[in-house]
């Protein structure tokens, strides 16, 4: 079943796709079963940037919708490298972002060469220039990335301190500001439950947003989520997260005046005299985390950093990378391996012992 937020993403996708060449829409029809709505929309934006660049550089005279397959077949390696340089130096994209956009283009061109067929069973493209383009070699090692991440996530007793800060301490901090104080009193159970759930499960932002009431299994401490690639999975969460969720659910229906037809787990208060409560958006969750993070004294915290915080804690206590990979929903174990480089106390201890004088 497609959630309300996914339906909105598909609507946006369908609007943008109409601006792109016909074969891109065909590509998306092929990928709908394999990629989430969010991933498809990101691909769509990447393709639009690429085709707009082609027209802006006057490599093709016409609208982006009219760019034919024959033009793609005639693209040179130098022209594609020029686009990648524009992404880096003109559009100020980081190397990892350039790699992601290149990956999207490689996927499209691979479809056109190796999957799509004409009526006489010939591939759409005989020549695939993207197959000749290499990804940027990322300069940072896992250790470097992990070290940078370490100062921006919650470690040790900071997990519980941040949770308690949202549940009570923030209210003390803003009690002289009536507007902020009342807003916090309205939402403190909900906000505590959201943060507690992410810190107790490692769920992605989109997964938290899309949760419905029926997705929570209170007997098994698990949540049903749709992961990347539209894969259904039950993800476990902590007892503290369960306790905070139940406290929130006690007040959810009455305080937010939730219509019985609204099955969203996390909701926002109605706006205006005739407004209805609605599913909390991804941006709203990002903003509430930013608000608490700044007040807590750790402004670098974000929803994604809370996910990193969970993963770091899980690895330090469980030390089982395959299980952590499943919990986080990573497609590649290499992505999960980064957490093995954070707070490596054994390595630090070994290095420290090198300074101890030998008898």
From 184, 252, 278, 330, the catalytic residue: 330
Q: What is the reported pLDDT for 110?
A: 96
pLDDT at residue 352 tops 60: no
Mean pLDDT check: name the lowest of 41-55, 246-260, 322-336: 322-336
Active-site residue 339, yes or no? yes
> Does residue 308 have an active-site annotation?
no
Catalytic-residue membership of 348 = no
Out of 184, 190, 204, 227, the active site residue is 204
Nearest to 293 by CA among 284, 283, 301, 285: 301
Spatial distance between the Cα atoms of 127 and 29, rounded to a whole number of angstroms: 23
* Whether the model pTM is above 0.75: no
What pLDDT, in 10s, does the model give residues 259-311?
888 999 999 988 766 678 899 999 999 999 999 999 999 988 899 889 888 88
Q: pLDDT (tens digit, 9 = 90+) per residue, 69-117?
A: 999 999 999 999 999 999 999 999 988 889 999 999 999 999 999 999 9
Q: Which residues fall within 8 angstroms of residue 18, CB to CB, at 6 or more apart?
A: 25
d(CA 252, CA 187): 10
Q: Given the residues 307, 308, 313, 341, select the one marked as catalytic.
A: 307
Structural domains of the chain sorted by starting position, each given as residue range(s) with its CATH number in brackets: 4-137 (1.10.150), 144-344 (1.10.443.10)
Query: Is 45 annotated in the active site?
Result: no
Measure the CA–CA gap between 110 and 131, rounded to whole angstroms: 8
| 283 flagged as catalytic | no
pLDDT in tens, 194-250: 999 999 999 999 999 999 999 999 999 999 998 877 788 999 999 999 999 999 999
Q: Which of 27, 43, 256, 339 is catalytic?
A: 339
More confident position, 341 or 102:
102
Q: How far apart are the first and last CA of the chain?
A: 69
pLDDT per residue over 138-162, tens digit each? 655 455 555 555 567 888 888 899 9
Beta-ladder partners of 217 = 222
Strand intervals (E) in the chain: 216-217, 222-227, 231-236, 267-268, 278-279
d(CA 311, CA 331): 15
The tokens describing 328, both together, are 């986080």
Check residue 340 and give its pLDDT.
61
- Of the listed 48, 100, 228, 263, which one is catalytic? 228
Q: What does the mean pLDDT of the chain come to?
A: 86
């Amino acid at each position: 079943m497609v959630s309300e937020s996914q339906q909105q993403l598909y609507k946006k996708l369908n609007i943008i796709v109409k601006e792109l060449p016909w074969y891109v829409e065909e590509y998306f029809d092929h990928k709908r079963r394999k990629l989430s709505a969010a991933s498809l929309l990101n691909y769509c934006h990447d393709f639009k940037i690429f085709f707009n660049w082609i027209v802006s550089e006057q490599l093709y005279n016409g609208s982006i919708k009219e760019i034919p397959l024959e033009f793609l077949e005639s693209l040179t390696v130098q022209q594609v490298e020029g686009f990648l340089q524009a992404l880096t130096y003109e559009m100020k994209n980081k190397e990892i972002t350039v790699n992601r956009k290149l990956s999207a283009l490689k996927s499209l061109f691979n479809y056109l060469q190796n999957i799509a067929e004409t009526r006489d069973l010939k591939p759409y493209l005989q020549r695939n220039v993207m197959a000749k383009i290499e990804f940027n070699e990322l300069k940072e090692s896992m250790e470097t990335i992990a070290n940078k991440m370490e100062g921006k996530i919650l470690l040790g007793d900071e997990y519980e301190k941040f949770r308690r800060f949202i549940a009570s301490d923030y209210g003390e901090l803003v009690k002289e500001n009536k507007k902020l104080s009342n807003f916090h009193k309205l939402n403190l159970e909900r906000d505590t439950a959201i943060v507690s759930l992410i810190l107790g499960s490692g769920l992605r932002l989109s997964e938290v947003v899309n949760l419905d009431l029926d997705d929570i299994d209170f007997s098994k401490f698990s949540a049903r989520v749709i992961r990347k690639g539209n894969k259904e999975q039950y993800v476990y969460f902590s007892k503290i997260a369960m306790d905070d969720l139940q406290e929130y659910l006690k007040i959810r229906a009455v305080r937010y005046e939730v219509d019985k037809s609204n099955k969203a787990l996390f909701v926002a208060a109605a706006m205006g005299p005739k407004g209805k409560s609605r599913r909390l958006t991804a941006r709203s969750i990002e903003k509430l985390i930013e608000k608490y993070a700044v007040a807590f004294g750790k402004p670098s915290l974000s929803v994604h950093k809370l996910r990193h915080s969970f993963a770091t804690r899980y690895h330090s206590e469980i030390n089982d990378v395959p299980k952590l990979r499943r919990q986080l929903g990573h497609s590649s174990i290499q992505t999960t391996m980064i957490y093995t480089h954070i707070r490596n106390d054994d390595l630090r201890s070994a290095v420290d012992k090198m300074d101890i004088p030998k008898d």
